[in-house]
Amino acid sequence: MPFDPAIPGQTPLDDLSGLRIKGIRTNAELNAAEAENIRKATMKYLASRPLARSARFDVRWLRRLHREMFGEVWAWAGEFRRSETNIGCKPHEIESRLHDLLEDLKAWRASGMPLLEQGVRLHHVAVQVHPFPNGNGRWSRMAGNIWLKLHGLTPTEWPETTIGAASTIRGEYLDAIRAADRGNYATLLTLHARFTMGGGA
């Protein structure tokens, strides 16, 4: 088997039947194909400030964002998972949990919560729901960044290659996510600020 086993905190990639690019044989080739697909989505949403009509922040758009990030590589991109994973809610709860998240996002905005914290909480809850078979971390970080960019803040420049591999930074990131799971967002806020250039509101 040319694909490496999942590292701690990563959803195992057990089913390759949805892989659109049949010539891919290794993790490195898969990572490169996904990175190119994600680069196109990044250019669309983060190269300049997106319009609210193109980043609608409803459930349909969240699914489309995942498809835009992974659809050239995976046939199931944008489709909610149908089985339970090592993290995430039960499959039948996904849509309602995302609706709740989007309602919370409106409430956070209306309350005057700092925009960086809104993006951090969006990122955390989205990855906690874990709606898709794979790519949830990258998708949730992208969604958080688009929210920041939409409201005039500088996106967080996550070191995706390092976060996606066994590394000290990945360990810090997972520890921050677990702290947020317990309601303590301080470490995740610090990590976001560490990788954000230009400040924020």
Higher-confidence residue of 2 and 161: namely 161
Report yes or no on 17 lying in a domain.
Answer: no
CB 135 within 8 Å of CB 153: no
In a domain, 79, yes or no: yes
Is the distance from CB of 140 to CB of 150 less than 8 angstroms? no
DSSP category for residue 156: B
Answer whether residue 139 is part of any domain.
Answer: yes
| Residue that wins the pLDDT comparison between 5 and 37 | 37
Q: Is residue 4 part of a domain?
A: no
pLDDT in the model for residue 201:
38
Distances (CA, A) of 133 to 21, 83, 120, 137: 17, 8, 22, 11
Q: In whole angstroms, what is the distance from residue 70 CA to residue 91 CA?
A: 20
Of 2-11, 69-78, 99-108, the range with the lowest mean pLDDT is: 2-11
pLDDT of residue 27: 86
In total, how many domains does the chain have? 1
- For the chain, the residue count is 201
Question: Is 141's pLDDT higher than 60?
Answer: yes
Phi, psi of 76 (to 5 degrees): -90, 5
Q: What is the band of 186 on the pLDDT scale with cuts at 50, 70, 90?
A: very high
196: helix, coil or strand? strand
Cα torsion 35, 159, 79, 93 to 10°: value is 170
Indicate the average pLDDT of the chain. Answer: 90
Least confident of 97-106, 143-152, 169-178: 169-178
Distance CA 65, CA 60 (A): 9
Q: Is the pLDDT of residue 2 over 70?
A: no
Residues 77-136: tens digit of each pLDDT: 999 999 998 889 999 999 999 999 999 999 999 999 999 999 999 999 999 999 999 999
CATH number of the domain to which 51 belongs? 1.10.3290.10
* 97 falls within a domain: yes
What local confidence, expressed as pLDDT, does residue 113 receive?
97
**pLDDT at 199 (0 to 100):** 42
Residue 45 belongs to some domain of the structure: yes
Does any domain span residue 127?
Answer: yes
Dump pLDDT digits (tens) for 17-32. 899 998 898 888 999 9
Instruction: State which residues form the domain around 144.
Output: 27-154
Give the integer Cα–Cα distance in Å for 108 and 103: 9
Q: What percent of the chain has pLDDT over 70?
A: 88
Looking at the domain assignment, is residue 32 inside a domain? yes
